[in-house]
Amino acid sequence: MNFFSLNKEAPDTTFKDAVIRGLAPDRGLYFPEKITPLSEDFFKNIDNLSHAEIAFEAIKQFVSPEIPEDELKTIVEETLSFDFPIVELNKNISFLELFHGPTMAFKDVGARFMARCLGHFSKDAKQDVTVLVATSGDTGGAVANGFLGVEGVKVVILYPSGKVSDIQEKQLTTLKKNITALEVNGTFDDCQDMVKQAFLDAELTDHMKLTSANSINVARWLPQLFYFMFAYKQLHNKYDNLVFSIPSGNFGNVCAGMMAQQLGLPITHYIASNNENNVVTRYLESEHYDVKPSIQTISNAMDVGNPSNFVRIQEIYKNDFSLLKENLSSYSFTDEETKVAMKEIYNDYSYVADPHGAVGYLGAKNYVESHPEAHCVCLETAHPTKFLDVVGEVIKENIELPAQILAVMDKKKKSIKISTYNDLKTYLLNR
């Protein structure tokens, strides 16, 4: 499988090269040259397949032939070493829990898959690969955990100072070994801009091998399509009209769901549920894509003012605005509305949702008001204890801390503070 740049000004390349580069030389995101739908029999027999078997069949066309099938099966099995349960609230709304991995966030899947792919590619490499990643919260911890101790790979994580939760910060600043955390005086958008600038800086790229583990990287983004197939397997015999409500920041998850659709998954609609960082909500209302600086909210992983993956969504639907609107709805909610939803979910269903899951729930509620026949699967993307201050304040209950969280609570934070791109560049050249 070859991949091309969505800016259309760089040569096509292999999966291996796309993973190692992260971003194309023309600053475009990579996209597969073709998508071959899976057979009808695959979906008819999905009940008889394990998660690993489903994932292997879904991903293999994108990574062949660079990763042999036997190796790919091992990578998939190691990636999916935890469960993805569904909790049904009522006949219209369910939560798909994506937080049962080592860092209790949905990004564990993509980070673990990418780490293993990069580990495979770097086995015989003479030069280390440096993974440079910006995080608005959960990506950092998932990437740090996924790449911890991987031979030939060093990880540098940029995160906005004071704009991630305490637990998220501990997860990305306490592992040491081959992981370094850079604490940026700015927003997530500033962190992401620095990462993108680094990839285009010849002084850096001539000196070191750089790649990214954000969802701009195909190996981080594509495995997220697994979630939608796992949910379909669990619910398709019970509900005819499945729709997904997805808390959306950089739009990697929405885009991955749409890739599952292109592979033949019989899902006809997606909901992008936003906090007040709502460029796509406004775009679907006006057809004007108006980027604004990100706003800090209690659902911080979605605090993205310019979602990178939206260009991939436009590519999927061939830049046809009408076709996009047939497949995507979007709603935006304030912090106050999010807190009310968290309280409602707890009081009505005895379920503790994190702020991101609550935004997904609000999107589902809005959608089913005009589509009562639909069953909306909300992606619950992080364990509520990762946002302990907000959740505890809203539901007025103590939440038991899981083992994954307890393991980092007492560890000492270690980060390097930076303010500008030159600070980042100096660190990378001198490390």
pLDDT digits (tens, 9 = 90+) for 393-422: 999 888 888 888 888 888 899 999 999 999
Percent above pLDDT 90 for the chain:
71
Q: For residue 339, is pLDDT > 90?
A: yes
| Residue 69: both structure tokens together | 């099938």
DSSP state of 151: T
Residue 145, in any domain of the structure = no
pLDDT category of residue 151 using cuts at 50, 70 and 90:
confident
Cβ within 8 Å of residue 354, ≥6 positions away: 380, 381, 382, 383, 384, 386, 387, 391
Q: What is the pLDDT of residue 90?
A: 97
Please provide the average confidence, as pLDDT, over all residues in the chain: 93
Strand 209-211 to 30-32 pairing: unpaired
Q: What is the pLDDT of residue 431?
A: 78
Q: What is the CA radius of gyration of the chain?
A: 20
- pLDDT, average across residues 295-299: 92
Q: What is the C-alpha separation between 15 and 31, in angstroms, rounded?
A: 10
pLDDT category of residue 386 using cuts at 50, 70 and 90:
confident
**Would you say how long the chain is, in residues?**
431
Q: What's the domain count of the chain?
A: 1
- pLDDT, average across residues 165-175: 87
Residue 196, in any domain of the structure = no
Q: What is the pTM of this model?
A: 0.89
Cα 317 to its chain centre, rounded Å, is: 20
CA angle 371/377/330 to nearest 5° reads 60
Strand partners, 184: 160, 418
How far is CA 351 from each of CA 181, 239, 339, 392, rounded to the nearest angstrom? 34, 22, 14, 13
Residue 428, in any domain of the structure = no
Q: What is the C-alpha separation between 235 and 252, in angstroms, rounded?
A: 23
Residue 337, in any domain of the structure = yes
Q: What is the pLDDT of residue 388?
A: 87
Strand 86-88 to 93-97 pairing: antiparallel
Residue 162, in any domain of the structure = no
Residue 12, in any domain of the structure = no
Q: What is the C-alpha separation between 147 and 167, in angstroms, rounded?
A: 19
Q: What is the C-alpha separation between 382 and 264, in angstroms, rounded?
A: 28
pLDDT category of residue 171 using cuts at 50, 70 and 90:
confident
Residue 180, in any domain of the structure = no
Domain that holds residue 370: 82-105+222-402
Q: What is the pLDDT of residue 244?
A: 98
Torsion sign (Cα): 415, 417, 418, 419: positive
Q: What is the pLDDT of residue 324?
A: 97
Residue 250, in any domain of the structure = yes
Q: What is the pLDDT of residue 16?
A: 94
Q: For residue 78, is pLDDT > 90?
A: yes
Find the CATH number of the domain harbouring 331. Answer: 3.40.50.1100
Q: What are phi and psi of 186, to 5 degrees?
A: 170, -160
